[in-house]
Amino acid sequence: MNESMLLHHRLDQFNAAYAAALDDGRFDDWPLFFTEDGHYKIQARENFDRGLPLALMALESQGMMKDRIYGVTQTIYHGPYYMRHIISPARITLHEGDVIRAEANYAVFRTRPGGISEVYNVGRYIDTIVEQGGVLRLKNRLCVYDSEMILNSLIYPI
């Protein structure tokens, strides 16, 4: 397998592991996909396209991510639901040394126990990924969502 194919495979496996952690409710694992100073932002496509900074969620470190997970798992009550992420193969836009920039489309479905499944959020990940000791970590994940309406409130990471 050539180097480019191997990198694509590693990115797709990384995204699959990311999705599995969220879909399986292993929310404490989520910050570990990021560097210590990693950034995570969820932003509407309209704001992204216009260069406007407003975002639904903007976290600027693993510590902020851990606080968010604590908040949504320990202090907020909401009706239970399951999530299922579908992530397209990654498209590498830059690879220089240990820094990789990549994009992948995503769709997140939500199912309430005993209910029907519905499209929860659709968009694309715009990532800056670094390799640290052979392990891929997100330096920045920008989730640009296409959905103009967010169902209820955005509780968990997408």
What is the reported pLDDT for 80? Answer: 81
Across the range 3-10, mean pLDDT stands at: 93
| pLDDT, tens digit, 9 for 90 and up, residues 28-87 | 999 999 999 999 999 999 999 999 999 999 999 999 999 999 988 888 777 788 899 999
Query: Looking at residue 71, what is its pLDDT?
Result: 86
- For residue 157, being part of any structural domain is answered with no
d(CA 65, CA 53): 19
Range of the domain at 18: 3-145
pTM for this entry:
0.94
Supply the pLDDT for residue 28: 96
Number of domains in the chain: 1
| Better-predicted residue by pLDDT, 145 or 78 | 145
Tell me the torsion sign for CA atoms 119, 124, 130, 136. Answer: positive
| % of residues, the chain, pLDDT over 90 | 79
Query: pLDDT digit string (tens) for 15-27?
Result: 999 999 999 999 9
The secondary structure of 12-75 as a DSSP string is: HHHHHHHHHHHHTT-GGGGGGGEEEEEEEEEEEHHHHHHT----SEEE-SHHHHHHHHHIIIII
Residue 98 belongs to domain with CATH number: 3.10.450.50
Decide if 137 is inside a domain.
yes
Q: Give residue 152's pLDDT.
A: 67
Q: Could you tell me where the beta strands, DSSP code E, fall in 112-134?
A: 117-132
Would 153 be classed as within a structural domain?
A: no
pLDDT tens-place string over residues 76-101 = 777 788 899 999 999 999 999 999 99
| End-to-end Cα distance, the chain | 31
Mean pLDDT of the chain: 93
Residue 109 lies in a domain: yes
